[in-house]
Chains A and B, each alone.
Chain A
Amino acid sequence: MNTAILVLIVMTLIGLCFGLILAYANKRFAVEVNPLIHIVEDILPKGQCGACGYAGCQAYAEAVVINGDVAPNLCIPGKKVIADQVATLTGKVAPEVEPRIAHVRCSGGHSKAVKNYEYKGVHDCVAASLLQGGPKGCQNGCLGLGTCVKNCPFDAMTMSEEGLPIIDPKKCTGCGKCETVCPKHVMQMVPIGAAVTVNCNSKDKGAVARKLCTVSCIGCGICSKNCPHGAIKIENNLAIVDSSICLQKCNERTCVAKCPTGAIATN
């Protein structure tokens, strides 16, 4: 009986003692944090993708609240909605955020592109590209080992049977992580709703490109000659579409119809 009471007293005293110490320390060592930082952090998407240029969502929230020069529209996955909210909270003016989506500039899968050798090494595009530029004959094509898929912070990418990444437009936020990790620069951010895209990244001359892959852009220039708005130009044997012109003016899609290899496609 005595022990029980003693236990009760000792435990209560110890608990009380620790509680008091913690309560005192909480006041004594309180660090004042601007509450706005937490509010801003809460509305950010928490993908921790780093597209804003900061180490994560918390780091960006801190920077945008404390530093007056940090723009409120840096969060690309958040798009305009988040940019507007951050701008109102921090009292800044939000410039436009152009909504973007990832685009694969290669359609030469296993069945369409020539291979120089069979690659059996580390399952990573960067590693493969160190060996003679990778197994693919086309030096600018997708290596298909899924470095972009592994690095996508929003799980928006999968690898197809053909060895090309597929983007889930519902999940892709256009953060651009895949663009930075791809050693072949196959991934590119395009405006959402871009009417026409070039699904090739080959910079080889026409004859070479045609030999290496059946669906390559051979730089023939038919698309650019036939485009009534001058939205397509050829650079390094590769067609480049200016989607800002294309989006506003065009609904004929002559380029797609005339392309001999099918490298240009409507979305």
Chain B
Amino acid sequence: MEQYFTIFISAVVVNNFVLTRFLGLCIFFGVSKNLNASVGMGMAVTSVMTLSSMLAWAMHHFVLVRFHLEFLTTAVFVLLIASFVQLLEMIIKKQAPALYNMWGIYLLLIATNCVVLGVPLINADNGYSFSMSAVHAIGSGLGFALAIILMASLREKLRLADVPKPLEGLGIAFILAGMLALAFLGFSGMIAL
């Protein structure tokens, strides 16, 4: 139990995917302009990450390990996640149109994203069990959501600030992300994994 808790906390804050591992920066900057979009993106990433990590664990455990093809992990996971996201999109479009209207557009943005690929790869590298993989994925997703929501709230405030001309837009956003990352660095050493 303790181990799960450690994995979870480590994924949310200590090894936050965006702010300490620097993965998923494209959506982190692209979709953090307003709060609503970032909440939708955070939800979409968390759910896709969790489901695809579970599938990836099964694929890794039952196919790749069995045939001693671990070196194919990356290629197979890319294929798996891209297909899975498409499948998920079709199902949601049919079964839950309201949900689709809310975050359908974010789903396809995730299909080829490094965060979603990164989590299953780290799971496989660390040799996590099925439940550990799931907990790690949920934690990473929430960590991503936390980072993007923090960033979006800051950027909404920033829109009214008097930013020097050359730094307007992405320039100040990068500086802001750097400062957030420094703050998150404070968590490192809290948990040793």
Contacts and interface: CB of A to CB of B under 8 A. Distances in A.
Contacts, number: 47
Interface residues of A, number: 20
A7 B80 contact: no
Contacts of A124: 160
A29 B87 CA distance: 9
Interface of A: 3, 6-7, 10-11, 14-15, 18-19, 21-22, 25-26, 29-31, 122-124, 127
Contacts of B2: none
Contact of A29 (B63, B76, B94): B94
Q: What are the nearest 4 A-B pairs in CB distance?
A: A29-B94, A18-B83, A29-B90, A122-B160
A10 B86 CA distance: 22
A31 B93 contact: yes
A18 B86 CA distance: 10
Interface residues of B, number: 21
Contact of B91 (A25, A122, A123): A25
B1 interface: no
Chain B contact residues: helix, strand, loop or mixed: helix
A127 B94 contact: no
Interface in B155-193: 160-162
Contacts of B161: 122
B52 to A, nearest CB: 13
Contact of A18 (B75, B80, B90): B80
B72 A21 contact: no
B58 interface: no
A3 B59 CA distance: 18
B79 interface: yes
Nearest to A19: B83
A58 to B, nearest CB: 11
Nearest to A123: B162
B69 interface: yes
B60 to A, nearest CB: 12
Contacts of B94: 29-31
Given A18-B80, A18-B83, A29 B91 contact: yes
A10 B67 contact: yes
Given A25-B91, A122-B160, A122-B162, A10 B79 contact: no
